[in-house]
Amino acid sequence: MHLQLPAEWSPQAAVMLTWPHADTDWAEQLTEVEQVYVNLARAICAYELLLVACHDEQVRQRVATQLAQADIPASQYQLYLAPCNDTWARDHGPLCIYANGQRQLLDFQFNAWGNKYSANLDNFITRQLHQAGAFASSPLHTLAFVLEGGSIESDGQGTLLTTRNCLLSPERNSALNQAQIEHFLRQHLGVERILWLQAGNLSGDDTDSHIDTLARFCDTHSIAYVACDDEKDEHFAPLQAMEAELKSFRQANGEPYRLFALPLPAPKFNAEGQRLPATYANFLILNTVQGATQRRAVLMPTYRDAADALALQTLATAFPGHAIIGVDCLPLIHQFGSLHCVTMQIPREQP
């Protein structure tokens, strides 16, 4: 059987969000964070269908009211009931593959980045959405393997980019060594090459260095990554080392990757003085096909920072033919994630 893990820029059917509510860690800033979600929903719905997991009927009614007030057409979103601990859809949502050209959903175990938080409800969200028909007739396979969507990057051609800190974390799949994990990924995702980053981390990140906070495929030949040129910044040494690794990586054809350096925002701190993981690498690629027309965009998190403009310009160069849309995500990093972390794209049913 031929398996393919599509790239994020592959044609999509929808994007998934899990909406925040008063029983999540967002409680103290719920109004501010919900506005971020409304802005995200508006940007997504301008291109494709939005699937929203809602904690209960009260949340579903609240979401429907907010989206209607934002003048988002009801035809562009679907609301489903699915109780949740938190809202990081990238990591509790489904990973989709094509098996002989047919879309299948993989439901991996989600243990909140190594049992750091409660995830008993989040781990069942994908199954509940599937039972409710959110993913049409695509079959769902639940696997006894811990894997978060934010921890892997696919070029759609058999190459996977990830970090050792995350995938080899003893709090995820402790019984497996690197060779066994690589075998599992090849067997279930159809990947042929795995590029492992050793260096690179962001202060405040609680995912053990998810790749989507550090380095992202822009196409099969290009990678955008977080760079730091301030020797006084705590990130300087690890990000310089990561940059050197990325320069050493080769495409399947043996050529080096074209690299796009994204700036690091000025340090952002919470009320307790902890630095927050602001990163422009946490962007979302949108691609929808309507007839013969392909509509493509990149939603990039902004942080009310002087570096926002340069980051938008850099992604515009990395993604020609895409609309580059900034979305204010400063509130999101107070819970240590950003735009890509709260979204999960669903590829269309056939490649």
Name the class of domain 3-347.
Answer: alpha beta
Residues 294-311: tens digit of each pLDDT: 899 999 999 999 999 999
Domain boundaries, the chain: 3-347
Read off the tokens for 169: 């974390």
Those residues whose C-beta lies under 8 Å from the C-beta of residue 185, and which sit 6 or more positions away, are 152, 160, 191, 194
Arithmetic mean of pLDDT, 229-249: 97
Residues 138-185: tens digit of each pLDDT: 999 999 999 999 999 999 999 999 999 999 999 999 999 999 999 999
Give the model's pLDDT for residue 175. Answer: 92
C-beta separation of 8 from 285 below 8 A? yes
For residues 40 and 77, what is the distance between their CA atoms, to the nearest angstrom? 12
Q: Which residue has the tokens 């942080």?
A: 303
Positive or negative: CA dihedral 17, 22, 25, 27: positive
Read off the tokens for 226: 């977080």
Name the pLDDT band for 68 (thresholds 50, 70, 90).
very high
Measure CA 7 to chain center. 12
Residues 86-145: tens digit of each pLDDT: 999 999 999 999 999 999 999 999 999 999 999 999 999 999 999 999 999 999 999 999
HEC sequence for 268-307: CECCCCCECCCCCCCCEEEEEEECCEEEEEEEEEECCCCC
C-beta separation of 305 from 266 below 8 A? yes
- pTM value is 0.97
Name the pLDDT band for 289 (thresholds 50, 70, 90).
confident
208: left (phi over 0), alpha (psi -120 to 50) or beta: left
Read off the tokens for 243: 């940059």
Positive or negative: CA dihedral 186, 217, 18, 334: positive
Those residues whose C-beta lies under 8 Å from the C-beta of residue 107, and which sit 6 or more positions away, are 94, 126, 127, 130, 140, 141, 142, 143
